[in-house]
Amino acid sequence: MSGGVIVVGGGVIGLTTAVVLAERGHRVRVWTREPAERTTSAVAGGLWWPYHIEPVESARAWALRSLEVYEELAARPDRTGVRLVEGVLGETDPAEVEGWAAGRLTGLRAATAREYPRGGGLWARLPLVDMPAHLPWLRERLAAAGGTVEVRAVGDLAEADAPVVVNCSGLGARELAADPAVRPVRGQLVVVENPGVGTWLVSTGADGEPTYLLPQPGRLLLGGTAEEDAWSTEPDPAVAEAIVRRCAALRPEVAGARVLEHRVGLRPARPAVRLERGTLPDGRPVVHHYGHGGAGVTVAWGCAEEAAGLVGPAAS
């Protein structure tokens, strides 16, 4: 054993967990099959909101802790990629939101007909994270705390030559943790030139298809899909057309926006997030930390702190 902690997985969950551990005094190495820019996290829209994640009560607690961190990071948006942006949560009951986020989300009110023509929308000011900026910033913060990132494939958690292993492998946990309960939920989005949309919008609509518009620096993200057990990472042109059509129904100005790129990511969904301490066959402790579905960005800091608690204090 060469000491410290190895975090397996370099997406937003793995990097955030590594940062928390390193800043608590652990010597941390991240082993990741892909660099952060090619992980599912890099494709995420980045809006803070607990989506497609269980258990709900835990997710809300992790989300509220993460909200505190993102509010601080929003003071330096050019560095961190985090901004506080206003927008509309469609088909959302204000009473339900106030029931778990009372006093934490300021400025909540019913959206006007102009803001959300379909009615029943909730206006809110939430963190919106630009993942192509945020992931490199996390890596830099980890390096500043003494941590390292190594791109390498891991076929077995026992390969990790550290006294403690943290498994943040997302969908990779199907093999690494022999856990078929973690399954893909395919998300596709279209990146277009922003025709002047300054607020975000999320809607489920009458057909139940998720629809969102997320203004990020220099572009507008249009989405989306939530296809369970779909493994393809190739963009589907018909799906892309449907996404643009749904978004244009809500914001007509995007109908003719020039398409910059198409993106697909596989969310690592699970009936419940697995966040627990176990042991490897050789007796070493392993902390499993995966299955965050579509809310990895939303819960990252709250989950990372709980995972770090399961690792325990750094050796003196």
14 is in an annotated binding site: no
Helical pair 12-23 and 131-144, crossing angle rounded to 10 deg = 30
Q: Is 204 annotated as a binding residue?
A: no
Residue 298 assigned as binding residue? yes
Residue 267 in marked binding region:
yes
Q: Is 295 annotated as a binding residue?
A: yes
Establish whether 297 is an annotated binding residue. yes
Secondary structure element (H or E) that encloses residue 205, with its range: none
Structure tokens at 107: 């400025």
Strand pairing class (28-32; 148-151): parallel
Strand partners, 222: 190, 213
Residue 41 assigned as binding residue: yes
Is 296 flagged in the annotation as binding? Answer: yes
Check: CB of residue 43 under 8 Å from CB of residue 263.
Answer: yes
Contact 166, 304 (CB under 8 A): no
Cis peptide before 224 (omega within 30 of 0): yes
Task: State yes or no: 293 annotated in a binding site.
Answer: yes
Is 92 one of the annotated binding-site residues? no
Query: Could you give phi then psi for residue 203, rounded to 5 degrees?
Result: -145, 150
Q: Which residue numbers belong to the known binding site? A: 40-41, 212, 267, 293-298
Annotated binding site for FAD: 40-41, 293-298
Binding-site annotation: residue ranges for D-dopa: 212, 267, 294
